[in-house]
Amino acid sequence: MSEEQMTIREMCDAYDVTPRTLRFYESKELLFPIREGQKRLFTKRDRARLKLILRGKRFGFSLEEIRQLLDLYDMGDQQATQLQRTYDVARQRLQDMEEQRDELNEAIDDLREQLKWGEQIIADFEKDLKAAQ
């Protein structure tokens, strides 16, 4: 439990993910834990990346998109261009999310409208049922 390196289990507990997930992210080159013998040790850098990964997922980025963003951050050269591209990707994503939300809102309004009908139909039906008794 050194401050600098964490085992896979410590990572799982700290970030609420499964070992499989961390190994999967490593296989996809999202994380690069070092090895002590056969065991993985996750560094501060891995933790920073994992935070970004989880945050990216919240934003609806795919793991592949996240990997590309992470790579851009890591290139360390031509940073202005890279930042600009990162920014562009993020803005595009934001726009997609807003469109998605708008569609969702339309669907919600639509469904609400349906439900109003539904309530009316059910109410009528129950009235008829009672009247029929």
Partner DNA sequence: GCACTGCTTGACGTTAACGTAAGAGAGACG
Partner DNA sequence: CGTCTCTCTTACGTTAACGTCAAGCAGTGC
Q: Residue 72: which of DNA, a copy of itself, none does it interact with, CB under 5 to 8 A by kind?
A: none
Q: How far is the CB of 66 from DNA (least distance, A)?
A: 8
**What is the length of the chain?**
133
How many Å apart are CA 55 and CA 20, to the nearest integer?
19
Tell me which residues in 49-68 interact with a copy of itself (CB under 8 A).
Answer: 55, 58-60
Exactly one of 5, 15, 24, 85 binds DNA (CB under 7 A); that residue is 24
Helices 19-27 & 44-58, crossing angle to 10 degrees? 100
Exactly one of 21, 68, 82, 86 binds DNA (CB under 7 A); that residue is 21
Q: How far is the CB of 133 from DNA (least distance, A)?
A: 40
Exactly one of 57, 91, 101, 127 binds DNA (CB under 7 A); that residue is 57
What mask, x for binding a copy of itself by CB under 8 A, covers residues 71 to 110? --------xx--xx-xx--xx-xx--xx-xx--xx-xx-x
Helices 44-58 & 63-75, crossing angle to 10 degrees? 130
**Where do contacts with a copy of itself occur on this chain (CB under 8 A)?**
55, 58-60, 79-80, 83-84, 86-87, 90-91, 93-94, 97-98, 100-101, 104-105, 107-108, 110-112, 114-115, 118-119, 121-122, 125-126, 129
